[in-house]
Amino acid sequence: MTYIQLLIIIASGIYITYVDLKEHIIPNKVNIALFVVGVIITIWDINHIMSHLLGLVLLGGLMFFLAVITKGFGMGDVKYIFNIGLILGLKQGFNALLIGFVVGGIVSLILLIMKKVNKKDMIAFGPYLVLGAILSFFV
């Protein structure tokens, strides 16, 4: 199961990264496809169904809360984290989110210090979430 999950994250992640860097969106069609795949994985991994469902609800809920409060994340990012939680489960999904936040924060800080962006510029967060999801397989 792990290799299938990793392959899905990498394949969708390449597309998400490209589109988010170019257009600052994570398309609904990708999130819908990932949700369908996540449901299939959850059914297939019946012994860990609660982890997948808790990942969906808790991680997605946390990301939704942060998006509403900070207005710094798009709904595509929120839906992607819902899907990451569903596909990877609670623990690995949390690691993915944490890694994405840390790496995205560090890169954003460096870009601000180097004056490549300012505080009002939009920075695509999807690529960091994808990277976090991939790296979560190795921590």
Is 80 within 8 Å of 34 (Cβ atoms)? yes
Q: Which amino acid makes up residue 52?
A: H
Note the pLDDT of residue 118. 85
Note the pLDDT of residue 1. 64
Phi/psi at 20 (nearest 5 deg)?
Answer: -65, -40
Note the pLDDT of residue 82. 97
CA distance 138 to 89: 15
CA distance 38 to 125: 21
Note the pLDDT of residue 45. 92
Phi/psi at 73 (nearest 5 deg)?
Answer: -125, 145
Note the pLDDT of residue 120. 84
Is 33 within 8 Å of 41 (Cβ atoms)? no
Which of 68, 65, 139 is CA-nearest to residue 102?
139
CA distance 74 to 29: 15
pLDDT in tens, 73-83: 999 999 999 99
The stretches in the chain having pLDDT less than 50 are none
